[in-house]
Structures are given as structure tokens and as C-alpha cells.
Amino acid sequence: MRPDPAARADFIVPPPAAAWRRWLPGLARLVACRLDGLRHDLVAGVVLTAVLVPVGLGYAQACGLPVIHGLYASIAALVAYAAFGPSRYLIQGPDSSLTALIVASTVPLVAASGVPAAPLAALLALLAGALCALAGRLRLGLVTDLLSRPIRQGYLHGIVLTVLAGQLPRLLGVPTDGSSLLSALAHLASQLLQGRVHGPTLTLGLGTLAVILLLRRRWPALPGVLIALVAATLLIEGLGGPGASGVAVVGALPQGLPSLAWPPLTPALLSQLLPGAVAIALVASADTSVLSRTYAARTGDAVDSNQELIALGAANLAAGLFQGFPVSASASRTPVAEAAGARSPLTGLVGAACIAGLLLWAPGLIAALPQAALAAVVIAACLSLVDLPGWQRLHRQRRSEWVQALVALGGVALFGVVSGIFMAVGLALMMFVWRAWRPHDAVLGRVDGLKGYHDITRHPEARRIDGLVLFRWDAPLFFANAEVFRERVLQVLDQAPTPPAWLVVLAEPVTDIDTTAAEMLLALDARLKAAGVHLCFAEMKGPVKDRLRHYGLYGHFERQGFFPTVGQAVSSYLKATGVPWHDWDEHPAGPPRGGAEPCRD
């Protein structure tokens, strides 16, 4: 998609000469905003507030926290990202992708430590923010690539199951219990069997969910969440208030802005929350990276993954210091801001100011908001993450990655979010090592009418030169596959149609050679020499030769032969051995016979 010239005309990106502009790119955008573009951000910020408030309340409730902390986290994250964030659109705040992680990290510690959940969640945000900011400062933005698309897909669907299990009791009007999916489902089933469902709460919750889903499907331009919550609140008021209906409500919010508060910083709590903070930092940074790249591609902006990490860290640090909880980039509120006409980070600041105004002057405005309606908001958000066609597509495209997604889903749902993520990442790394351990290799031959040399398994008609084996290894050479390489070389030499005299290793795909593999090559060369086979290399990259030089082995293999191309290696073999070979006439006026370049099969 081409950049929108109209969207780019309302601001000027300042030159990155001053240090503060490099560290505070969002603030630099704000300083350079033109007055004629402010109205777009003001309108977008007001529209965005209609989503920020209910979603912030709902996710705080889903995390087992007083709902006010969702608004505290929203204000702090929006302000911090507006200063540090490199993206003009991205909206930071409470997000469903982190809900189960926060619950899994804090709930077990509440009873064990005696510390309330809110300070623990704030400390978790501080830890995650510090990790993200440090990773950005160390330029580790690419670490988020550890969470591949299949892992994120499985993780998100595991989150959906976990969050749904936590919100269904609120929708049914029954007590919540259980720190895992299985225990939560068991508790919910026992409540249902005992007939403890509260009819008015269930009716109100299902009605709110139906309105949200219907408006989302039929009239997506309307603020469905806001309409549904206003209707639910008016219905409670019309029935005589919470006391008459028996439906649990949010209640009046504390008046005033969040104050700076340090959560308890004890070594025991820090060590117990650190694994969860690492998982939150990984997930939040991956979500932020994906959204940042998506919107940068749409507007033609550059992507600075390291500054995104710093901004994400600042948003979490601010949320932790001002009584919030971990935040991430929002895939639901960012499109709202863009669709409403956002042009700069001012949109987030306007949203934060509107929430602050609500807390200062109208904290009782949402006192009659039903908790079942907030549960419906969270459930609707989770249902929007379900992607059944994506599962079918992944199963069709690559079964191994489909298995990775299943492991992530099952790990998150059955063993907890932190364990599930690390299980999936561990499996992905194991599968990567497996592919590098036994990579693809090929013996090449010459095919009449086709340029270059080709895999004889794909082209059985390929002709081979007597006494010459062209062997390609499609992976780095390292400790895990060095022995496999040696075995394959001996195998292809043993299967050669004529007694081999030369072995040419096509080394262009070999991007590295470690010390174990270098020692293996020395031993293999000695064995081949004893058998009368000459070992040489073609197309080896300069950095790999430098590595051999650093090991002190370059001189040895230089005497064996490094050829820039396969064609030159073939020509040298023919010249050295005098083997008769009639090649098809690829270059009538070009290089000598055998001088064709390889074709990658």
C-alpha cells in the first residue's frame, strides 16, 4: 500500500541531530505538529476514549485487579509512549495477550506473600519494562523473532481458552476460582451442576455480548462496545439499580489521578516474578513489533525495532510506577485510532487526558456498569482472536509448524502461560537444530539443455563426469552435523558410478564452520588422501575462509584448492586428469568445457 500523502502532510519529522530527538521521537513529532492537523488528533483521541475506558476496566477485571488499575495503566502507557514511541499510530495499553500471563504470575503469590495483587502486578510491569528497555538499549530488537508466527498463533489461542475460562464465571454470576484452565473449568462445571447460575447476570452478559458481536458484524463503523455498555448500564438503572437486580456492578471509581507508588521490591518477589516478566516482555515486544511493522508499511515510515522496545519499556515502567500493570501494543485500539483520523502521538495524549478528566470530575459515571458486561467485552475481544482458517492453512502448508502451534496452545492452556511459551520456544529451537543437524544435501550432474549443475535426484537424466563427485551441503558446518557430513561424504563416494578421484564440495550454502567441523574436515581429508581422493571446495564465502584462516587451517586447504565457481573446479579437474568429457554447447564462444556456472536446484 502506498503511503498516504494526506496523512504525512500534517507533521514534519524533525532532523535527528539533537540527542533528545533520538531518545524521544514521539515528543519530536509532537513538537513539529502543524496546527491544521491537530483537529484530526483531537477527534480521534475522543473517539478512542470510548474504547479505552471499557477495555481498560475489562482487562483489569480479567487480571483479578480492581478495575481502576486498568485506567491507571492506560493513562501512564499512553503518555509514556507518546514521548518515546517511534510510531505515530500505535496505542499502548492493557491487552488480552498479557492477561493470562499476569494472572499466572501474580495469583500464586498473593496468598504466599500476603501482598495484594495490584502491587504485584505493578512490580511485574516494572520488571517487564526494565527488560524491554534494556533489550532496546542493547539493540536486541531481533530477539522477538524467537516467537515465530506458529508460536504466536498457538499462544494466542491458548490465551483465548484461558481468558474465556476466567471470564465465564463473571458472565454466569458465579464465584471465580482456579489458577489454571483445568481447575477453572472444573470449578465452573461444579457451579453449573449445583444450579448456582444467576439468571439476571447471565441474561445481561449474553445480551451485551450479542449486541457487541452483532454491531461488529453488521455495522463495524459504530462503537459497538460503547453502545452495548451504555445500554447495559441504563438497563440496570431502569431495574432499580444493582440492589434490586442483584447484578454485580463496578461501583464508583476512586476520584483523582494515579499517584506515584513504589511496589514492594523484595529479592524474593523479584525472583518469583522474573520468569513471568521475561515471558511478558517477549510477548509484548513481539506484538508491538508486528503492529509497528504493519503500520509502518502502510504509511511508508521506517521501522526502528530497538526504539519500539525502549518505548514499550517506558510504557510498562510508567504503568508500574503509577499503580498500573503490564501493557502492550493493542491490535484492537490502534485501528480505532487510525480509522478516527489519528495523525500523530497526540491522539494517545488526548485519550489519556479524557480518561483523567473522567477520574477527576465524573468518577461515579460508570458506577452502575455491570461486571458481566465487562466480561462480555473481554470475551468478545478474545473471540476476535480466533483464526480457524489460519490453523487449516498452517496444517496444509507445514505440519511441523502446526505441531509447534499445538504445543504452544496446549502448553499455555494446560501448564500455564509462562511454561507454555517456553515449551513452544524450546520446541521451535529443537526443530531448527534438527533441520540443521540433518540438512538437505545433493550430488550434482550436468543436464543437456540446462545451464549449470543440478541435483541428480531431481534430474535422473543428469550426466556425471567420470571420477568427479560434486557434493553440495545446504547448511552451516558445526558440531551437531559434522559427523553427519562426514558420513554423507563417504556414502556418496561409495555410491559413485566410477572410482572417485576428486571430491568438490559446493560450499556456498555453508555460512559458518566451527572448530569441531574444522577438525572433522582435517580428519576427512587425511582419510580421502589415503584412498586417493582429492578434496577441494568451490564457491566458499570469504567470511568462512576467514574463519579457517583464524583456525590456522586456511593454508592447508588452500593447497587443496578453493575455486570461485563450480565451472572452474570442473575445468581444473578435466585439465589435471585428462578425463574425456563432451559437454553440450552452452557457450559456443565462451569459457572452456565444464565452465558453466551452477544452477540452484
d(CA 143, CA 279): 12
pLDDT in tens, 549-576: 999 888 888 877 899 999 999 999 999 9
Q: What's the half-sphere exposure (Cβ side, CA atoms, 13 Å) at 552?
A: 1
Residue that wins the pLDDT comparison between 598 and 45: 45
- Residue 31 pLDDT greater than 80, yes or no: no
pLDDT in tens, 420-449: 777 777 877 787 788 788 899 999 999 988
137 close to 304: Cβ distance less than 8 angstroms:
no
pLDDT at 354: 94
Tell me the average pLDDT across 476-488.
Answer: 93
pLDDT at 36: 56
pLDDT in tens, 64-115: 899 999 999 999 999 999 999 888 878 999 987 788 889 889 988 988 888 9
pLDDT at 434: 80
pLDDT at 457: 93
pLDDT at 381: 77
Runs of H (alpha helix) within 246-266: none
pLDDT at 124: 96
Length of the chain: 601
pLDDT at 470: 96
How confident is the prediction for the chain on average, in pLDDT?
A: 84
d(CA 86, CA 100): 28
pLDDT at 156: 73
Q: Is the pTM of this model over 0.85?
A: no
Amino acid at the residue 406: L
pLDDT at 396: 93
**Which set of grid coordinates corresponds to residue 204?**
445481561
pLDDT in tens, 347-402: 999 999 999 999 999 888 888 888 888 888 888 878 877 889 989 999 999 888 89
d(CA 282, CA 276): 10
| β 502-506/534-538 pair status | parallel
- Residue 324 pLDDT greater than 90, yes or no: yes
Among residues 125, 166, 149, 127, which one has the least CA distance to residue 416?
166
377 close to 229: Cβ distance less than 8 angstroms:
yes
Tell me the average pLDDT across 129-135.
Answer: 94
- Residue 316 pLDDT greater than 50, yes or no: yes
With H, G, I as helix, E, B as strand and everything else as coil, classify residue 478: coil
pLDDT at 35: 58
Portion of the chain with pLDDT greater than 70, in percent: 88
514 close to 477: Cβ distance less than 8 angstroms:
yes
pLDDT in tens, 202-241: 999 999 999 989 998 898 877 788 888 889 989 888 877 7
pLDDT at 143: 64
pLDDT at 28: 77
Tell me the average pLDDT across 271-282.
Answer: 91
- Residue 125 pLDDT greater than 50, yes or no: yes
pLDDT at 139: 83
**Which set of grid coordinates corresponds to residue 349?**
495524549
Q: pLDDT category, 511, cuts 50, 70, 90?
A: very high
